[in-house]
Chains A and B, each alone.
Chain A
Amino acid sequence: MLGFPESGKTTFLAALWHVLSTGDVPGSLRLGSIAGDKAHLKAIHEAWLACETAVHTSREATEVVEFDLLAGSEKSGRLVIPDLAGDLLADYMAARIWPADFDTSVRSASAVLVFVNAGNVNEGVRTEDAIEWTAGVAEAKDRTNAEAGEHLAQGPTLDFDPTSLPTQVMVVDLLQQLRARAGNTRIGVVISAWDVAHDHPTPAGWLAKRLPILSQYLGYHAPATPMFGVSAQGGKFPDESKAMAAIARPSDRIQVTDGTSGDHDISRPLRVLLGLPSQ
């Protein structure tokens, strides 16, 4: 599981653990045994059950969670999830270094699930576009004309910050690093907070429209990349917490779609990515 800060990894992990451990979603993978930081899992799961915002992975920690996956009653594989703090990943954009143990995980991973948050996309909005949106085209033309003519004095600007680049640029950069280390790693994409992506029928369509260079990059290097829209919370917390809490079975809050079919099975992205059958 890889994603930058606020990309939805932690909530996904909480909901995944719930579904794996309860087995109340037909067809989902089942939990065998679990290793790693159970306290972290317990905390994020309790927050998820209470319809509260999950505790995000701390900056200092690289939480490693290991699941044995069950197909029926048989062990079908082990899922190792280094839930690396998103902040640490963002830092690598500036320093071009990352922790050695993370590098080892990346090199040995057979598959990677990449997260982007439909409700938290840094578009890298251009000033020219913002002026047009807020002040109307005519004023935008005047202002830009003035600037271009005699170099209108501009107030102080903020320094370039390589840790807060547009979302699609950061994810493509990350994927390039992954492919440079393990070119055959299977890639899957989870678009989290899918409940806010109302105007796009499919995850692939959303990606092509909102994050075009990521979509094109995957189209060239990994055209069979499975893409899922996932709402692990079911709604926005705290605004919709009350409505969410009223749903009798918590796993019914979960929405998962690949663009053609939808269900509550949050293990589906893993099943498809790993080539495991429905249980």
Chain B
Amino acid sequence: LAGPHGSGKTTLAASLYEGFLSGEFPVAAFVGSRTLVGWEERCHLARVASGGEVPDTGRTSREDLGLLHLDLNFQTRFTRLLFADLSGEHFEDLMEGVENPHAQALLDRADHVALCIDGARLRNIADRHRTIHEIRVLQRVMAEQKLVPAFTRGVHIITKWDLVKSAGVDAEQFARINAAELATISTDLGIPSKVALASARSTHEEVPTRLGIAELLLGWAAAPASWGIPHKVDPIERPTRPFDWYGLHG
């Protein structure tokens, strides 16, 4: 999950997890997680137990390693997902040309990269162009510096879609057109991408809670046959991607 701070990365991840807690994803069954406490911590400020009067998501600290784990069963296919939910400051470093070993190490192992476009900022004339510009810079840095492997697939997610919808047709069109353009540029740069709309919460009657989350999950769980790397323990056929070691030794 990549994007500047406040772009909705953590809220998106927490919403995905909450969807399992409430049994809302019939396409996949929960099989396990080694980071249950980490998921829960991210959900805390949106829970009654926090004592908060409005749902919120805590800001991810720069020190948080940000790895969240889910084992899922899609019908009969076991899938292990490892999410990197880093503080936006890591990505702001990359946008400013500052080396960031932690973020780079994770990007170097990413099967999928989700570029989060902050829908709330797309509503405002003053913020919207800067928001698009930041993502444009981030994806250019990732592609030109080869921060992600050749097999990485992208998705440009317009987060907080309920707020975009509430802002009217102009904001909606601006968001759709610019996200599509960003996805096209990303694809041209070597990170094939498409656009997704997501809303972790619902503030618009036409936008359901967890809009787009199940579809994103399916996309992330799908492993193109071209990867062709089996999850088997075989000392001769060594995995070529570091994350596959997690599968072998997990």
Chain A residues with a Cβ under 8 A of chain B: 93, 124-128, 130-131, 141, 143-149, 152, 154-158, 160-162, 164-166, 168-169, 172-173, 176, 208-209, 212-213, 216-217, 219-221
Contacts of A154 in B (CB 8 A): 52-54, 56
Contacts of B41 in A (CB 8 A): 160, 162
Chain B's closest residue to A155 (CB) is B53
Within the complex, which residue of B21, B23, B49, B53 is in contact with A161, where a contact is CB–CB below 8 Å?
Answer: B49
Given A164-B49, A212-B20, A212-B23, verify A220-B55 contact (CB < 8 Å).
no
Q: Report the separation of the CA atoms of residues A172 and B70 in the bound assembly, to the nearest whole angstrom.
A: 13
Residue B82 CB within 8 A of the other chain: no
Q: Would B55 and A216 count as touching, CB distance under 8 A?
A: no
Q: Report the separation of the CA atoms of residues A93 and B30 in the bound assembly, to the nearest whole angstrom.
A: 20
Q: Would B37 and A127 count as touching, CB distance under 8 A?
A: no
Q: Would B209 and A128 count as touching, CB distance under 8 A?
A: yes
Q: Report the separation of the CA atoms of residues A172 and B37 in the bound assembly, to the nearest whole angstrom.
A: 11
Q: Report the separation of the CA atoms of residues A5 and B48 in the bound assembly, to the nearest whole angstrom.
A: 20
Contacts of A165 in B (CB 8 A): 36-37, 40
Q: Report the separation of the CA atoms of residues A125 and B44 in the bound assembly, to the nearest whole angstrom.
A: 10
Given A148-B160, A212-B22, A217-B31, verify A162-B49 contact (CB < 8 Å).
no
Q: Would A216 and B52 count as touching, CB distance under 8 A?
A: no
Q: Report the separation of the CA atoms of residues A158 and B48 in the bound assembly, to the nearest whole angstrom.
A: 10
Q: Would A160 and B120 count as touching, CB distance under 8 A?
A: no
Within the complex, which residue of B22, B23, B55 is in contact with A144, where a contact is CB–CB below 8 Å?
Answer: B55
Residue B176 CB within 8 A of the other chain: no
Contacts of A212 in B (CB 8 A): 20-23, 30
Q: Report the separation of the CA atoms of residues A163 and B162 in the bound assembly, to the nearest whole angstrom.
A: 34
Contacts of A147 in B (CB 8 A): 54-56
Residue B205 CB within 8 A of the other chain: yes
Contacts of A124 in B (CB 8 A): 21, 40, 43, 47, 49
Contacts of B81 in A (CB 8 A): none
Q: How far is the CB of B200 from chain A (nearest CB, A)?
A: 10
User: B31-42, CB under 8 A of A: which get 1 and which 0?
Assistant: 111101100110
Q: How far is the CB of B111 from chain A (nearest CB, A)?
A: 22
Contacts of A172 in B (CB 8 A): 30, 32-33, 36
Q: Would A127 and B18 count as touching, CB distance under 8 A?
A: no
Given A93-B37, A162-B37, A169-B40, verify A127-B20 contact (CB < 8 Å).
no
Within the complex, which residue of A126, A141, A158, A208 is in contact with B23, where a contact is CB–CB below 8 Å?
Answer: A208
Q: Would B40 and A162 count as touching, CB distance under 8 A?
A: yes
Given A127-B55, A173-B36, verify A145-B49 contact (CB < 8 Å).
no
Q: How far is the CB of A151 from chain B (nearest CB, A)?
A: 9
Contacts of A130 in B (CB 8 A): 48
Q: Would A144 and B203 count as touching, CB distance under 8 A?
A: yes
